[in-house]
Amino acid sequence: MTNVPTPQPSPPVATRPTVSASTAMPAMIKRILPAVATRGRLLALSAVGLAGILIGLAVRNGDQIDDFAATEFISAFGLTIFVPIVALVIASATLGTLREDRTLVYFWLRPIARWQIVLAAFIAGLMILVPLAGLVMAVLAATVGDGSDVAGAIVATLVGVVAYGAMFTFLGLITKRALAWGLVYILIWEGFIGGLSRFAGRLSIRSYTTSALSRIADDPSLLTNPETTPVIIVITAALTIGFLAAATVYMNAMEVD
């Protein structure tokens, strides 16, 4: 057997990532999707969606419905409960399951840039959230409202799914109890603090989804002064990029087991 060799530094090896995003990311997305879209999760979330739609039906043939009540209901059920919860359960599971069953190492210890892993997880989340949440919210809006409500609900859902998706993907990476902390954010921060003042409202994603709904379904009663569309878009983009960047930094510095 060779004895202990004398230490000589060998020629430097490429330090930059040697695998491009175009090859790595599709493969990772393909791997993350089945781990997140488990039967249990999909069943539970569609059940919640169905319950919402049933209640919508109940409210409708309770025959005291009018246009403003429709957006009221979409915002109350959809944007306050359904969209955030669905986003939390799915998005926190993307990096969360990888970390919990210790398979993250099979992505982490590879010559690829770390932001690709984060982006792949985020996109995988969206690929589940957009159809699931979008469909349920569209049907919900259709049962209680008219065309503009449906359009408003869909756009608001998109805004919510993107912003919440990024935040909860990050949350799933940094803590094992992502569900618990996510619920704290949704119920306490958005539910309670968000309502205190207009400024406090701006610190919660819900104000932007609700603004999007009220803008498109043109129902000013939802919010005192809803944000303008460009503001919604800029804020959502900023939040998304911010959370994904934070996740990348965290992933570079973390200890993987």
Q: Which residues here bind another protein, judged by CB under 8 A?
A: 1-19, 23-24, 27-28, 31, 34-35, 51, 55, 58-59, 61-62, 101-103, 105-113, 180, 253, 255-257
Answer whether 207's CB lies under 8 Å from 223's CB: yes
Q: How far apart are CA 250 and CA 121, in angstroms?
A: 15
The helix/strand/coil state of 115 is helix
Q: Which is nearer to another protein, 43 or 253 (CB)?
A: 253
Nearest-angstrom CA–CA distance, 103 and 194: 37
Q: How far is the CB of 65 from another protein (least distance, A)?
A: 11
d(CA 231, CA 14): 43
Report the alpha-carbon distance of residue 69 to residue 13 in Å, rounded: 65
What minimum distance in Å lies between the beta carbon of 236 and another protein?
30
| Interatomic CA distance for residues 107 and 126, integer angstroms | 20
Q: How far is the CB of 163 from another protein (least distance, A)?
A: 26
Residue 185 C-beta: closest distance to another protein, Å: 16
Shortest approach of another protein to residue 139 CB, angstroms? 18
Give the nearer residue to another protein in terms of CB position, either 111 or 220: 111
| Of 109 and 196, CB closest to another protein | 109
Within 10 Å of residue 64's Cβ, how many Cβ atoms? Answer: 7
| Residue 182: other Cβ atoms inside 10 A | 23
Residue 37 or 139: the one with the smaller Cβ distance to another protein is 37
Taking phi first (over 0 means left), then psi (-120 to 50 degrees means alpha), and beta for anything else, what does residue 17 get? beta
Closest CB 123 distance from another protein, rounded Å: 16
Task: List Cβ neighbours of 51 (8 Å cut-off, separation of 6 or more).
Answer: none
Q: Which is nearer to another protein, 113 or 174 (CB)?
A: 113
Select 176 or 198, whichever has its Cβ closest to another protein. Answer: 176
d(CA 53, CA 78): 10
CB of 198 to another protein, least distance (A): 31
**Closer residue to another protein in complex, CB, 39/225:** 39
